[in-house]
């Protein structure tokens, strides 16, 4: 790929946000800026699956405030988490090796079974059920830990409740 060099003057607060992101993700500043630019370009029509083109066109018409509302909506559970769980309702507590029931979000309170550590980067299990759930569903896998670091920088992590 051919590249071009562009010099721009950034306001100090924007530069500091990029520098902070580079430090948190342990990546070169240039990579972080490049990713930000690339991620903010509208997708090419050919890159979008035909069944999603209408949705993308609608999103491109929204202003920043409306886009933040959409971005803050809760996402459904990732398919991989459900694949890790499968049809199981119990798992092994990694601390003592005993079988225990998995955390049930509709019947149990999150704060009784989990706590945020590292300023919201990782989740710690407080109970056998919490520890087994974290272990089985891989709550602290590398991908989600990286995502949480980014969410912290933009003020979306850790959740308030």
Instruction: Tell me the per-residue pLDDT of 107-156, one tens digit each, with 9 for 90 and over.
Output: 998 899 999 987 788 999 999 999 999 998 888 888 788 788 777 766 67
Q: At 159, is the pLDDT very low, low, confident or very high (cuts 50, 70, 90)?
A: low
Q: At 9, is the pLDDT very low, low, confident or very high (cuts 50, 70, 90)?
A: very high
Q: At 47, is the pLDDT very low, low, confident or very high (cuts 50, 70, 90)?
A: low
- Residue 129 and residue 103 in contact, taking contact as beta carbons nearer than 8 Å: yes
Q: What is the pLDDT of residue 69?
A: 75
Across all residues in the chain, what is the average pLDDT? 81
The three-class DSSP label of residue 90 is: strand
The candidate with the shortest Cα–Cα distance to 150, out of 20, 11, 63, is 20
Q: What is the pTM of this model?
A: 0.49
Q: Which of 2-11, 38-47, 76-85 has the lowest mean pLDDT?
A: 76-85
CA separation for the pair 138, 80 (Å, rounded): 10
Residue 112: C-alpha distances to residues 9, 64, 94, 123, 137 (Å): 48, 36, 18, 12, 18
For residues 63 and 15, the model is more confident at 15
Give the mean pLDDT of 47-51.
69
**Domain boundaries of the chain, sorted by first residue:** 12-71, 79-153
């Amino acid at each position: 790929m051919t590249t071009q060099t562009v010099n721009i003057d950034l306001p100090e607060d924007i530069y500091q946000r990029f520098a902070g992101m580079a430090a948190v993700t342990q990546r070169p500043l240039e990579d972080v800026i490049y990713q930000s630019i690339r991620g903010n370009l509208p997708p090419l029509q050919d890159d979008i699956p035909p069944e999603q083109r209408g949705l993308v066109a609608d999103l491109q018409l929204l202003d920043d405030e409306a886009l933040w509302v959409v971005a803050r909506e809760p996402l459904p559970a990732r398919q991989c988490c459900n694949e890790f769980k499968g049809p199981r309702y119990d798992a092994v507590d990694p601390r003592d090796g005993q079988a225990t029931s998995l955390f049930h979000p509709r019947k149990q309170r999150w704060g009784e079974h989990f706590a945020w550590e590292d300023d919201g980067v990782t989740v710690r299990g407080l109970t056998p059920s919490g520890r087994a759930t974290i272990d089985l569903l891989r709550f602290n896998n590398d991908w989600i830990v990286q995502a949480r670091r980014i969410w912290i920088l933009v003020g979306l992590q850790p959740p308030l409740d």
